[in-house]
Structure 1
């Protein structure tokens, strides 16, 4: 006889695996739908990260000078 903890663990892991599969499938679906806009979004994200890093650096320098 299986304990309820084992059953819960198996159920939990199954749910996690199913969610991962669904998310991965959805991402592939999005990529197949519009590759260009995905690339553009990725580039915009990289640029905004770069801008944020520059702002943080400026802030650190201004705080360090005081």
Structure 2
């Protein structure tokens, strides 16, 4: 339910969406545990999230990458 709330807020412009790939400086400062990024494949052109960090195994559940 929280994921749906975030998506709704991003669609309404309440929280920002990622509209392009982050540059190296942005990755170093913005990507950390508990950070959440919302993006649309169509808007951003990002088809797979890559950040250069090692995380636990991810999986796709429906339309969500977890």
Would the TM-score normalized by the shorter structure come out above 0.5? no
Q: Which has the higher helix share?
A: 1
TM range (shorter): under 0.3
| Structure possessing the higher radius of gyration over alpha carbons | 1
TM-score under structure 2 normalisation? 0.24
Q: Which has the higher strand share?
A: 2
Larger RCO of the pair (alpha carbons < 8 Å, separation 6+) = 2
TM-score under structure 1 normalisation? 0.24
